[in-house]
Amino acid sequence: MEKLVERFLKYVQIDTQSDENSGTFPSTASQHEFSHILIEELLALGLHDAALDDNGYVMATLPGNTDHEVPVIGFIAHMDTSPDFTGKNVNPQIFDSYFGKPLSLNKKERILLSATDFPALNHYLGKALITTDGTTLLGADNKAGIAEIITAMEELIQNPEIKHGPIRIAFTPDEEIGRGADKFDVQKFGADFAYTIDGGPIGELEFENFNAASARIHIQGRNVHPGSAKHRMKNSMSIALELERMLPLNEKPEYTEGYEGFYHMTEMQGTVDYTTVKYIIRDHDKKEFTKKKELLIKVVDHLNLKYGSGTVRLILTDQYYNMKEKIEPVFHIVELAMKAMNKAGVTPKVQPIRGGTDGARLSYMGLPCPNIFTGGHNFHSRYEFIPIDSMKKAVEVIKNIVELNAQKA
């Protein structure tokens, strides 16, 4: 398992931050560079068909070693890190044993990782943790998944007594900006079903996710001298704030949990004359999701009646849907993952994803794809950490899935 940690530490120090404002695919050249590193590693392990396609997807096959036909399983992780927090100059730290006291991530900046702020730390007393240095994210989302998949493949190669069917693996770009499945060739991948190794704490197993939409709102104001502005000025920033106040206060991320959906303003830039606002809209229930979108449209229509036609322009785009609809008809793949976790001594924690994964869109593209834990916590932040034991268990679960799948056939 030293290789697992070694791989992970190597991967997170490679900057692969995606860029939603880029028109290229992948959105950043660094992801393309990382994919070449992964190809070289896969070829060295003996996955001789490892290849990179024109769109930046890495795919490879570990052939089966059974004497009977077994369904083809896929394992998928993404190469990019969040565009919202820097992934440059990542300097991971290993704390050999956590004993309950706050961990000093950065003495100079006085940045602490504390159970007072993050109670989940209390589950890892005596465990080794990998953290950031307090200035960047860590990148366990999703380089932990990549390291775990490759390590599992290496162990299966080294232990041919573990019987398994054909295994396909794929590493995708730009998942963090919602493009990870845009050009994924499901037919070429050739798996009967797959799992994204892209979840959080140990035991997570998810086959439900948000329905998701993005909203871009353009507000055209009218700027005149404030000294003579009465009945003439239209302050576009004030209109943006008015729009925000018209949305339900309790339907914001900071007030919701579980299956509760939300509106989330992610960006606002503007002047008196012109303002742009970005929202994401989320809900697990398709009807509630539709209602949320309809309410935003009504709010925009109201503001246009109040301030003049064309003042507020809304661009509303569906991003992905709840994979539950596609997973329930093949629920045995969830049960297979549960059995694999139990065999590894991990208690399955089946819960809805308050977000999305490549697997959500892939499920609608014909590849049923639940999500399994990597072991990480506090993704996309300077407080991100991952217990080494949780990563080891993720590797064990992957191996158990393919072994149990071969036994079942």
CA distance 95 to 105: 10
Locate 395 and state its tokens: 């590797």
Q: Say if strands 111-113 and 103-106 run parallel, antiparallel, or are unpaired.
A: antiparallel
Contact 138, 132 (CB under 8 A): yes
CA distance 27 to 21: 8
Nearest to 355 by CA among 284, 271, 407, 295: 284
Active site residue 67: no
Residue with tokens 């909203």: 215
Give long-range contacts, CB 8 A cutoff, 24+ apart: 289-294: 289/211, 289/213, 289/261, 292/251, 292/261, 292/263, 293/213
- DSSP letter string, 88-156: TT---EEES---SSPEEEETTTTEEE-TTT-GGGGGGTT--EEE--SSS---HHHHHHHHHHHHHHHHH
CA distance 365 to 362: 5
Locate 248 and state its tokens: 């339900």
Nearest to 349 by CA among 370, 373, 383, 316: 373
Backbone angles phi, psi at 384, to 5 degrees: -65, 140
Which residue blocks in 165-248 are alpha helix, DSSP H? 186-189, 236-246
Locate 165 and state its tokens: 């069917």
CA distance 21 to 49: 33
Out of 141, 175, 176, 206, pick the active-site residue.
175
Active site residue 54: no
What's the longest Cα–Cα distance across the chain? Answer: 85
Name the strand (E) or helix (H) holding 8. Answer: helix 2-12
CA distance 151 to 398: 10
Locate 186 and state its tokens: 């499901």
Neighbours of 161 (CB within 10 A): 5
Contact 150, 56 (CB under 8 A): no
Distance spanning both ends of the chain, measured CA to CA: 29
Out of 15, 80, 148, 206, pick the active-site residue.
80
Catalytic center residues: 80, 175
